[in-house]
């Protein structure tokens, strides 16, 4: 794990409550493509259920990070693509089971008209920095 510094409220910027404004560190950069709610067999998990889909998406992110020798502690940025902002509470609740409030990464949330398949409610990508 790399040493990361989180800055939730830089001077002159309103404090963040669900993310950090800035995360910096040194090490190897890891980019994880947007993950959707497909299980290891390619089957949809949680049709119409944002909480179930968020659970599968975060499990997929965990597995992808592990493949690169990283964990959620190394994540510096999450980008949420959602078909409805009403899904964000389910995503935040799931995120809280993987990332404690004192280790929040930077984040962006974008509502999109659709994802690659209509049954997907969200797609989440991650960026991490791990020790070399």
Quick one: residue 107, left, alpha or beta (phi over 0 = left, psi -120 to 50 = alpha)?
Answer: beta
pLDDT above 70 coverage of the chain, percent: 98
Q: Are 6 and 22 within 8 A, CB to CB?
A: yes
Averaged pLDDT, 85-97: 98
Q: What is the mean pLDDT of the chain?
A: 95
Helix locations, the chain, DSSP H: 50-67, 88-98
Q: For 18-66, what is each residue's pLDDT tens digit?
A: 999 999 899 999 999 999 999 999 999 999 999 999 999 999 999 999 9
C-alpha dist (Å) from residue 87 to 12, 52, 66, 77, 94: 30, 11, 26, 19, 11
Residue bearing tokens 């190394």: 74
Q: For 115-129, what is each residue's pLDDT tens digit?
A: 999 999 999 999 999
What is the reported pTM?
0.94
């Amino acid at each position: 794990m790399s040493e990361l510094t989180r800055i939730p409220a830089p001077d002159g910027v309103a404090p963040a409550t669900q993310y950090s404004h800035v995360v910096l560190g040194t090490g190897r950069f890891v980019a994880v493509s947007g993950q959707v709610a497909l299980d290891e067999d390619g089957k949809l998990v949680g049709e119409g259920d944002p909480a179930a889909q968020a659970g599968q998406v975060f499990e997929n992110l965990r597995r992808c990070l592990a493949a690169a020798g990283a964990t959620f502690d190394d994540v510096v940025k999450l980008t949420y693509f959602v078909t409805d902002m009403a899904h964000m509470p389910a995503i935040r609740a799931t995120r809280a089971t993987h990332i404690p409030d004192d280790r929040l990464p930077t984040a962006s949330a974008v509502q999109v008209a659709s994802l690659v398949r209509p049954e997907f409610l969200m797609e989440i990508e991650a960026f991490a920095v791990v020790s070399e």
